[in-house]
Amino acid sequence: MKTLTGKDLAAAIRARTQAEAAAGAQPRLAVVVATADEASLWYVRSIAKAAAGVGIACDVVDLGPDAAPGRIRETLAGLSADPRVHGLMLQTPLPPGASAQELAAAIDPRKDVDGANPLSLGRLAAGLPAFPPATAAAVLALLDHYEVELAGRRAVVVGRSTVVGKPLAHLLLDRHATVTVCHSRTRDLAAVTSQAEVLVAAAGRAGLIGAAHVARGAVVIDVGTNPADDGGLTGDVDFAAVSNVAGALTPVPGGVGPVTTALLLSHTARAANRPHDAQEEAHDG
C-alpha cells in the first residue's frame, strides 16, 4: 500500500505560487469569516500563514458569529468592487439563516478563488474556464501528482456538497472517468464504493469507509477532516483497516488538506496576474 502524502506537492505548488506572486503586483486575498467554528478558524489561520510565506497579502475580515446575512453580502460586494483585492473567499460554516450559496453570488467570479459563486460551478459543469473549489482541485492535483489514470476508470465520490462532492464529480467527468456520486440516501454504500477503482470520501463522517467499502488495489482519497478524540483530526476512512485493502491511500492529516491551502493561494496569484483567465466570458470589459 502506498501512502499518498500531500506535503511535497503542497510545497511545490507554494514554490510555483511564490514565483508567480513575485512576477507582478502583490496579490491580495480577502477571507470573510462569520463563525466561531474551531476547525474553520484553524483553516483561516493556516491560509494567512501560508499566504505570508509565498508573498500574498491576506486580509481576514471577521464579522463575528452573529453577523447578519445582509452585512455579509455587503462586505462581499465591497471586496468584490475593491481593485486592491484579487481573491475573495467566504469561509463556512455561516450563522444560522445565512446561505453560503446565496451569499457567494456576491463574489465577483473573477475573484472567486474557492469556486463558491454558483456561476463558477455552472461554468465548471459546462466545461468553461472557472476556478474550482480549492478542495476539489486538490483531489485532482493529488491524483495527477501520483499519476493515477482516470480516463475510462470507475470513480466513486461519497458526498454531494457544493464545495466538494459536486464540483469534484464534474472535474472527474471532464477527465473521462465513469463517475458515481453517493450520499446519505444511497442504499448499500459498500456495494457501490467497492466498485470504485478511484474512491473519494468527502462525507464528514469519521471512519465511514472501512475495508468492506474498498476494492483490492483501489486508490482512495480521504477528504474528511473530522475532530478526533485526541484533539487532532481524523478522516472519513478507517486508515488502518483500509490500508490492508487499498493500493494507495491519502493520510489525514497530511493529505488533501495542505494541497487545498496551497491551491487557494495559487488561484489567488492567477487571479491577480491574469484576471480574465478564469472567467473569459463571464464579464465583458
Ligand X SMILES: NC(=O)C1=CN([C@@H]2O[C@H](COP(=O)(O)OP(=O)(O)OC[C@H]3O[C@@H](n4cnc5c(N)ncnc54)[C@H](OP(=O)(O)O)[C@@H]3O)[C@@H](O)[C@H]2O)C=CC1
Q: Contact residues for ligand X (CB under 6 A)?
A: 135, 158-161, 163-165, 182-186, 189, 202-205, 208, 223-226, 256-257, 260
259/204 Cα distance (integer angstroms): 18
Collapse the DSSP code of 113 into the 3-class scheme (helix H, G, I; strand E, B; otherwise coil) and give the result: coil
Residue closer to ligand X (CB basis): 194 or 282: 194
Q: Which of 12, 16, 18, 40 binds ligand GUE (CB under 6 A)?
A: 40
Cβ atoms of 85 and 111 within 8 Å: the answer is yes
Q: Which of 125, 173, 233, 241 binds ligand GUE (CB under 6 A)?
A: 233
Residues annotated in a binding site for NADP(+): 159-161, 225
Residue 205's binding partner, choosing from ligand GUE, ligand X, none, with beta-carbon cut-off 5 to 8 A by kind? ligand X
Residue with cell 475593491: 82
Pick the closest to residue 104 from 35, 40, 163, 43 (CA basis): 163
Residues 222 and 244: their CA atoms lie apart, in Å, by 16
With binding defined as CB under 6 A, does residue 252 bind ligand GUE? yes
114 interacts with ligand GUE by CB under 6 A:
yes
Among 261, 266, 268, 279, binds ligand GUE (CB under 6 A): 261
CA distances from 243 to 153, 221, 224, 253 (A): 21, 12, 16, 15
Is cis: bond before 93, omega within 30 of 0? yes
Q: Which of residues 164-223 bind ligand GUE (CB under 6 A)?
A: none
203 binds, among ligand X, ligand GUE, none (CB under 5 to 8 A by kind): ligand X
Name the binder of 148 from ligand GUE, ligand X, none, CB < 5-8 A by kind.
none
